[in-house]
Amino acid sequence: MNPLPKSLLLPIDDQEETLRPIDFLVQLYPRRDHISLILSYLESPLAPVYLQKPLAPAMLAKKKALLLAREAKTREVLNLARKTLVQDGFPEDEIQQHVQEKELSVAHHACRLADLKKVDAVVIQRRFSSRLEAFFKGDISAALLNHCQVSPIWFVDGEVKVERAVIGLDDAAASRRAVDHAAFMLAETSLQIELLHLSRTLSQPFECTAVQFDTAAPSLRGTSGELHAVLKESLEILAGEGIAPERITLAVLPSKDKIAQEILRHCRTRQAGILVLGHKGSAGTWNFLKNSVAKAVLAEANNLAVWVNQ
């Protein structure tokens, strides 16, 4: 069966590190003839002095020179990105380019374009190795979380080992959307998938395969009936995309309220390269924005692709 078409938005600039997510995509999708990519590039605006009318001849000549230089830089950046994608097996006729002058923040432009084009995800390189560096250089992760209310965001950090994905579960609607998204994007891959829930009431870890779930579920004593329903529904969503139960495991682990650190520690233990999270407002168990769990995960993630779904 041929995989379903997928559309991704890749914001880029003149730094080659913005092309690093391409390596991640190559690992994730050995077959890439069904993937369309939109390269989004923002040109630096001209200084306000060049927007005045009329311009003196000398200023007009300088403006034209600046525009020509900007156009050449844009062409150079896009040509490199397109060349890299084609060399890595992405179909050239499925690579689109979107260029506009920067008027707002990078995050605002990217999310607005993603919603307009109805892409499956925004794929972006996480650039900073520490919270301090992010603070001084301007990490746009929080802005992307704020502006991308519809499109999922894939934050790619470092060298990602694409063999296993962990999907964080709780009782909120955003969690279900995260499972939906992961099921669609991972169905054609061979990755192992783990459903993870952190419980404040469970005293002992619970782990099983999808095949064992129906018989093992009664041992989830001390948790709510809603958890059983969430796990079962998640398994049904994955199965609905044709993901074999042999690829799926479940883990419900005791939590001491250090959610971000516990999630990341579990990903390291499992050698997971992808972490899928649901991001919501004030409702739900994890309450990502108010408790800064998503921000903490993104700030501390190393060699990990974090997929955030609203």
pLDDT tens figures, 143-195:
898 888 899 999 999 899 999 999 999 877 888 999 999 999 999 999 999 99
Which DSSP helix (H) or strand (E) runs through 123?
strand 121-125
Domain identity same for 118 and 27 = yes
pLDDT of residue 22: 97
pLDDT in tens, 102-132: 999 999 999 999 999 999 999 999 864 444 4
> What's the one-letter identity of residue 60?
L
Contact 209, 192 (CB under 8 A): no
Query: What tokens appear for 310 in the block?
Result: 């609203």
pLDDT tops 60 at residue 282: no
Q: What is the CA radius of gyration of the chain?
A: 22
Alpha helices in 1-138 (DSSP H): 21-28, 57-87, 106-117, 131-137
Domain count, the chain: 2
Q: Which pTM value belongs to this model?
A: 0.90
Domain identity same for 175 and 275 = yes
pLDDT of residue 292: 56
User: How far is it, in rounded angstroms, from Cα 222 to Cα 254?
Assistant: 11
Parallel, antiparallel or unpaired: strands 6-12 and 192-199: unpaired
pLDDT of residue 139: 65
Span 218-232, average pLDDT: 78
Domain identity same for 150 and 170 = no
Backbone angles phi, psi at 152, to 5 degrees: -60, 150
Domain identity same for 99 and 66 = yes
SS3 state at 99: strand
- Residue that terminates a domain, selected from 100, 122, 157: 157
Confidence of residue 223 (pLDDT cuts 50, 70, 90): low
Contact 74, 42 (CB under 8 A): no
- Residue that terminates a domain, selected from 157, 189, 218: 157
pLDDT tops 90 at residue 291: no
Residue 1 located in a structural domain: no
Higher-confidence position of 138 and 207: 207
CB proximity list for 297: less than 8 A, separation 6 or greater: 260, 263, 264, 275, 277, 306
Owning domain of residue 17:
6-157
Comparing 40-44, 119-123, 280-284, 295-299, the range with the smallest average pLDDT is 280-284
Span 279-284, average pLDDT: 52
pLDDT of residue 135: 43
pLDDT of residue 284: 42
What's the chain's length in residues? 310
User: How far is it, in rounded angstroms, from Cα 122 to Cα 152?
Assistant: 6
User: How far is it, in rounded angstroms, from Cα 209 to Cα 235?
Assistant: 10
Which DSSP helix (H) or strand (E) runs through 37?
strand 35-43
pLDDT in tens, 189-222: 999 999 999 988 888 899 999 999 999 888 776 5
Give me the CATH number covering residue 186: 3.40.50.620
Which DSSP helix (H) or strand (E) runs through 235?
helix 225-240
Which DSSP helix (H) or strand (E) runs through 9?
strand 6-12
Percent of the chain residues past pLDDT 90, beyond the cut: 67
Query: What's the mean pLDDT when you consider all of the chain?
Result: 89
List Cα–Cα distances, 122 to 3, 187, 243, 288, 307, in angstroms.
20, 19, 24, 20, 9
Residue 241 located in a structural domain: yes
Domain identity same for 273 and 139 = no
Which DSSP helix (H) or strand (E) runs through 147?
helix 141-147
Domain identity same for 20 and 35 = yes
List Cα–Cα distances, 29 to 11, 111, 118, 163, in angstroms.
19, 24, 20, 12
pLDDT of residue 27: 97
- Residue that terminates a domain, selected from 157, 185, 215: 157
Comparing 60-74, 111-125, 256-270, 287-301, the range with the smallest average pLDDT is 287-301
Domain identity same for 57 and 186 = no
Residue 137 located in a structural domain: yes
Domain identity same for 131 and 172 = no
Domain identity same for 216 and 87 = no
Domain identity same for 135 and 172 = no
pLDDT of residue 221: 63
SS3 state at 5: coil
223 by Cβ neighbours in 10 Å (0-12 / 13-18 / 19+) ranks as middle
